[in-house]
A and B are shown apart, each in its own frame.
Chain A
Amino acid sequence: MNNNEVELLLVEDDPNDVELALLALRKHKLANKIHVVRDGEEALDFVFARGAYSHRTSNGPPKVILLDLKLPKVSGLEVLKAVKGDSRTQAVPVVVMTSSREQRDMIEGYRLGVNSYIQKPIDFNQFQAIIRDLGYYWLVVNQSPPPEAFPIYE
């Protein structure tokens, strides 16, 4: 693992959300290896190391992807589908973070293999707490899949 290794991929189009998320992560010292993409296409480029991210082949996959659902170009669920539908990336943990409580989205997300599904609370205190918990859990507590789980990066 080198320093460039990205631990957390944040897929979020809203700059406010990006700022608040980073704020929360930073507050809990979890914002070191974060990469932010602003739409679904960029997210897929990053995950599959293509386009602007084709150089990333040697780097391992992120420890977790925080995925908003409502995204320009390619929606969050499509991103999820692509990630979980591909043997090279399906082991990457994906956490959906969304504003809505759409049941349909939740059902579809789990059907597609999402690892966690979280509604962003209105209350900022709660939001910070969730971000903190998420960061600790996925980046510290959880054992990430071994590199063998990701044939693309070999």
Chain B
Amino acid sequence: MAVMMLATVLVLLLTAAAFTTYDLVTYRQSLVHSLSATAAILADHSTTALALRDEKDARATLTSLRADSRIVAGALYDGQGNLFVHYPKQAPASAFPSAPAKGGYRYEGGRVILFQPVTEGGMRLGTLYLKSDLHPLYVRLRFYGGIALLVLFGSILVALVISNGLQRQITRPILALAEVARAVSERGDYSIRARKLSQDETGLLTDAFNGMLARIEEQTETLRQNEEIRSFLAAIVESSDDAIVGEDLESKVVSWNAGAEQIFGYTAAEMLGQPITRLQSSDRPGEEALILEEVRRGGIRHFETLRVRKDGQPIDVSLTVSPIRNSHGDIIGSSSIARDITDRKQAERDVRENRARLSGVIGSAMDAIISVDAGQRITMFNAAAEKMFRCPAWEALGQPLDRFIPARFRAAHREHLAAFGRTGVTSRAMGHLQPLSGLRNDGEEFPIEASISHFEVGGELIYTVILRDITERKRAEEQIRQLNAELEQRVEERTAELTTANKELESFTYSVAHDLRAPLRHIDAFSKILEEDCADALPHEAAHYLQNIRKSAAKMSLLVDDLLNLARIGRQELRRQPTPLSGLVREVLTDLKEETVGRTLEWRIQPLPAIECDPGLMKQVFANLLSNAVKYTRPRPVAVIEVGYRRKNGDTAVFVRDNGVGFNMKYADKLFGVFQRFHRAEEFEGTGVGLATVDRIVRKHGGHIWAEAAVDRGATFYFTVAGLEQAPEPEQEEMAA
């Protein structure tokens, strides 16, 4: 309503102003006309007065101006421009311009000032000056203003009345519309609709408004959806492990996701606006240019290449570069999706390497390696197979495996293979049911040993058999078997021979024992009888000879005894039992007492361990060694004989040491031979069988014997016996006995 009122007032004011202005202009024009006319008349009347310089006349003329109340001042100037007369007379001369101006009028301070030249016959006599007041004009204006105000108020009253009447019909629906608009804008709810109140223009307006709201709502929804999709897509891009990079047509980076930061090491801030060629590998210059060219043509490219990270490390990537178009379909840039395939590349290299290695292994294998597919067609045939079957690989590949199997085994082989494929087992040795045979290209059959494995490739079973030509081995085995049989037979024969020989030896020694000793006894006996019973009949020397005969017999008897003993030890089974060696030594010392009568002997006997041995035989060992020690120390004023055991050359050995005459080590190897003697019989008695016997006993006990000696510096005999190494460490303390 205010608008309506304002419009009304404005219209009225404009109308009043226009009217007033027009009237004012018209009035002023008429004033000037009338003033000009008066001036012209006065000028005419003044010529004479001026010409004659008749002041009185001139003044009278001016005084006539009184008739016109609008003219407030007038004056005449002479030809020289000096004030001649003025009106009103009482006005000071200073109130007038000091000199006339050019002809014409002008407004000055709300008055009109007019200068009119006074001429007579073309000769300028002077100048008339008139000054008119505009007061009437203002009166007139005030009058008009009053009228205008009256009209204005009247109009406003009328307008108020009319608008009040119209409000119900027009304003209310519009206000309702405005309310709806406010609600929409405040709540942002574009689903609100204005109620249509009438079928007139406001009704149409409501419809239009609602229509507009509907469209806004629709667009808002579209926008929202677009926004959702956009942020969804942005999230995808951001969360992708792949580098997703947007570039413009100058190859400058315009977008750079987290994946790109991760893969290339540059942050988005570092890369945005930078040329993508930064990532280009120096050995592939111009690659980006080629890509860009492709993109400009609208092509999409997938390829793998090398990029360089921020830290200078090369990185294998798979790239997908595709053009980006604007809504008009123009290409404005490109997107490239890069995936770090370093691991895959490495894996591929590994696979290649493995394959190379495997094929190297297969190629250089000594065994034939053959693969067949489910249809029994050969798909692999290595060098060893070529050699084994005498068939080049190119000929074998694609052929059925049957070709290399003797005809009579083919059906069985097929069956076995199929059965094997059905088992869960993936590999096993073949031929555990029967020996296998192969068939060479030239028809020769040969024995083989095989193992088989299967695996699935693309849903198809592949069988791989590894074959070994065992012809040679079979031959060798046969040979070994034969040799073994021969050997066995020979062993049997030898055993029989040995048994016979042993038996013969046994009966021989038995005979020796009986028959060899008997004559000795007889020799001794008859010598003795001769000596005693026929002493008188014999010459003096005979007694001496008979002594020698008896000594020889005794010596021979000793020899026989020793030899028989040695022979018996060879035959005899060991009767092992736990035996304290110290006890044996004590027994031997007792036995030796007789021999040592009258001599000075220092015995140094360490305690010896108990071991498993044949006590009888072991006693013989000590008896021999100790009696030897006693015997060969005979020249010493004090014989020192030591017995003990100690670590020696990694063995634990019992030793018997003496300070006797010793022997030269160059004969050491003869020491344990039968009948080997290092001393003359006059020096030291003996048969030369004792150490041979000791050696035999020690060896029967799983040990060995050796000696260390030097001439005149004593001898040490060491011997080991099985079981001695488990004995406790020997005590270093020596025990005198």
- Contact partner of A123 (CB less than 8 A), chosen from B510, B513, B524, is B524
- Complex CA distance for A125 and B532, rounded to whole angstroms: 11
Taking the closest CB of chain B, its distance from the CB of A103, in whole angstroms, is 7
A102 — nearest CB in chain B belongs to which residue?
A: B513
| Binary per-residue interface labels of chain B (289-313) against chain A in the complex, 1 for a CB within 8 Å, 0 otherwise | 0000000000000000000000000
Task: Judge whether B525 and A103 touch: CB under 8 Å.
Answer: no
A98 — nearest CB in chain B belongs to which residue?
A: B514
A122 — nearest CB in chain B belongs to which residue?
A: B557
Residues of A close to B525: CB separation below 8 A: 16, 20, 124, 127
Interface centre among A16, A122, A124, A125 (most CB of B within 10 A): A122
Interface centre among B513, B525, B526 (most CB of A within 10 A): B525
Taking the closest CB of chain A, its distance from the CB of B554, in whole angstroms, is 6
- Contact partner of B561 (CB less than 8 A), chosen from A16, A101, A120, A125, is A101
- Contact partner of A99 (CB less than 8 A), chosen from B518, B524, B528, B568, is B518
Residue A58 at the B interface, CB < 8 A?
no
Residue B486 at the A interface, CB < 8 A?
no
Residues of A close to B517: CB separation below 8 A: 99-100, 120, 122
Residue A37 at the B interface, CB < 8 A?
no
Task: Judge whether B522 and A70 touch: CB under 8 Å.
Answer: no
Interface centre among B514, B554, B564 (most CB of A within 10 A): B514
Interface centre among B515, B521, B526 (most CB of A within 10 A): B521
Task: Judge whether A99 and B513 touch: CB under 8 Å.
Answer: yes
Residue A133 at the B interface, CB < 8 A?
no
Residues of B close to A99: CB separation below 8 A: 513-515, 517-518, 521
Q: A16-B518, A101-B564, A103-B568 are in contact. Are A124 and B513 (CB under 8 A)?
A: no
Residue A23 at the B interface, CB < 8 A?
yes
- Contact partner of A124 (CB less than 8 A), chosen from B515, B518, B524, is B524
Task: Judge whether B522 and A20 touch: CB under 8 Å.
Answer: yes
Residue B625 at the A interface, CB < 8 A?
no
Task: Judge whether A120 and B529 touch: CB under 8 Å.
Answer: no
| Binary per-residue interface labels of chain B (646-673) against chain A in the complex, 1 for a CB within 8 Å, 0 otherwise | 0000000000000000000000000000
Residues of B close to A123: CB separation below 8 A: 524, 554
Chain A 42-79 residues near chain B, CB threshold 8 A = 69-70
Residues of A close to B557: CB separation below 8 A: 122
Residue B553 at the A interface, CB < 8 A?
yes
Taking the closest CB of chain A, its distance from the CB of B238, in whole angstroms, is 107
Residues of B close to A120: CB separation below 8 A: 517-518, 521
- Complex CA distance for A88 and B513, rounded to whole angstroms: 33
Residues of A close to B561: CB separation below 8 A: 101
Contact residues of B: prevailing secondary structure: helix
Taking the closest CB of chain B, its distance from the CB of A124, in whole angstroms, is 4
Residue B160 at the A interface, CB < 8 A?
no
Task: Judge whether B513 and A122 touch: CB under 8 Å.
Answer: no
Residues of A close to B510: CB separation below 8 A: 100, 102
Task: Judge whether B528 and A69 touch: CB under 8 Å.
Answer: no
- Complex CA distance for A127 and B525, rounded to whole angstroms: 8
Residue B268 at the A interface, CB < 8 A?
no
Residue B383 at the A interface, CB < 8 A?
no
Chain B 424-454 residues near chain A, CB threshold 8 A = none
Chain B 505-521 residues near chain A, CB threshold 8 A = 510, 513-515, 517-518, 520-521
Taking the closest CB of chain B, its distance from the CB of A104, in whole angstroms, is 9
Residue A85 at the B interface, CB < 8 A?
no
| Binary per-residue interface labels of chain B (522-538) against chain A in the complex, 1 for a CB within 8 Å, 0 otherwise | 10111111000000000
Residues of B close to A125: CB separation below 8 A: 528
Chain B 529-579 residues near chain A, CB threshold 8 A = 529, 553-554, 557, 561, 564, 568
Residue A121 at the B interface, CB < 8 A?
yes
The number of chain B residues touching the other chain, given as a range, is: 20 to 34
Taking the closest CB of chain A, its distance from the CB of B567, in whole angstroms, is 11
Residues of B close to A108: CB separation below 8 A: none
Taking the closest CB of chain A, its distance from the CB of B484, in whole angstroms, is 37
Task: Judge whether B528 and A122 touch: CB under 8 Å.
Answer: no
- Contact partner of A100 (CB less than 8 A), chosen from B513, B520, B522, B527, is B513
Taking the closest CB of chain A, its distance from the CB of B280, in whole angstroms, is 106
- Complex CA distance for A121 and B554, rounded to whole angstroms: 10
Residues of B close to A23: CB separation below 8 A: 529
B555 — nearest CB in chain A belongs to which residue?
A: A122
A121 — nearest CB in chain B belongs to which residue?
A: B521
Taking the closest CB of chain A, its distance from the CB of B695, in whole angstroms, is 21
Residues of A close to B513: CB separation below 8 A: 99-102
Taking the closest CB of chain B, its distance from the CB of A96, in whole angstroms, is 12
Taking the closest CB of chain A, its distance from the CB of B425, in whole angstroms, is 65
Taking the closest CB of chain B, its distance from the CB of A29, in whole angstroms, is 17
Task: Judge whether A122 and B521 touch: CB under 8 Å.
Answer: yes
- Complex CA distance for A101 and B525, rounded to whole angstroms: 19
Residues of A close to B524: CB separation below 8 A: 122-124
- Complex CA distance for A101 and B566, rounded to whole angstroms: 13
Residues of A close to B521: CB separation below 8 A: 17, 20, 99, 120-122, 124, 127
B513 — nearest CB in chain A belongs to which residue?
A: A100
Residues of A close to B527: CB separation below 8 A: 124
- Complex CA distance for A121 and B521, rounded to whole angstroms: 7
Q: A16-B522, A101-B561, A103-B568 are in contact. Are A124 and B529 (CB under 8 A)?
A: yes
Taking the closest CB of chain A, its distance from the CB of B268, in whole angstroms, is 110
Task: Judge whether A69 and B514 touch: CB under 8 Å.
Answer: yes
Taking the closest CB of chain A, its distance from the CB of B737, in whole angstroms, is 31
Chain A 106-132 residues near chain B, CB threshold 8 A = 120-125, 127
- Complex CA distance for A123 and B524, rounded to whole angstroms: 6
Taking the closest CB of chain A, its distance from the CB of B556, in whole angstroms, is 9
Q: A101-B561, A103-B568, A121-B521 are in contact. Are A70 and B528 (CB under 8 A)?
A: no
Taking the closest CB of chain B, its distance from the CB of A120, in whole angstroms, is 6
- Complex CA distance for A20 and B521, rounded to whole angstroms: 10
Residues of B close to A103: CB separation below 8 A: 568
Taking the closest CB of chain B, its distance from the CB of A23, in whole angstroms, is 7
Residues of B close to A98: CB separation below 8 A: 514
Residues of B close to A20: CB separation below 8 A: 521-522, 525
Taking the closest CB of chain B, its distance from the CB of A146, in whole angstroms, is 36
- Complex CA distance for A98 and B513, rounded to whole angstroms: 10
Residues of A close to B515: CB separation below 8 A: 70, 99
- Complex CA distance for A125 and B524, rounded to whole angstroms: 9
- Complex CA distance for A70 and B516, rounded to whole angstroms: 12
- Complex CA distance for A123 and B529, rounded to whole angstroms: 12
B512 — nearest CB in chain A belongs to which residue?
A: A100
Q: A101-B564, A103-B568 are in contact. Are A124 and B528 (CB under 8 A)?
A: yes
Task: Judge whether A122 and B554 touch: CB under 8 Å.
Answer: yes
Task: Judge whether A14 and B518 touch: CB under 8 Å.
Answer: yes
| Binary per-residue interface labels of chain B (666-688) against chain A in the complex, 1 for a CB within 8 Å, 0 otherwise | 00000000000000000000000
Task: Judge whether B514 and A122 touch: CB under 8 Å.
Answer: no
B511 — nearest CB in chain A belongs to which residue?
A: A70
- Complex CA distance for A100 and B512, rounded to whole angstroms: 8
Chain A 15-46 residues near chain B, CB threshold 8 A = 16-17, 20, 23
Residues of B close to A17: CB separation below 8 A: 518, 521-522
- Complex CA distance for A120 and B526, rounded to whole angstroms: 15
Residues of A close to B526: CB separation below 8 A: 16, 124
B561 — nearest CB in chain A belongs to which residue?
A: A101
For the complex with contacts A14-B518, A98-B514, A127-B521, 14 further pairs of A-B residues with Cβ separation under 8 Å are A16-B522, A17-B521, A70-B515, A99-B513, A99-B514, A99-B517, A100-B510, A101-B513, A102-B510, A103-B568, A122-B517, A122-B553, A122-B557, A124-B529
* CB-defined A-B contacts under 8 Å, sample of 22: A16-B525, A17-B522, A20-B522, A20-B525, A99-B514, A99-B517, A100-B513, A100-B564, A101-B564, A102-B513, A103-B568, A120-B517, A120-B521, A122-B520, A122-B524, A122-B554, A122-B557, A123-B524, A123-B554, A124-B526, A125-B528, A127-B525
A interface vs B, CB < 8 Å? 14, 16-17, 20, 23, 69-70, 98-103, 120-125, 127
- Nearest first, the 4 closest Cβ-Cβ pairs linking A and B are A100-B513, A124-B525, A124-B528, A122-B557
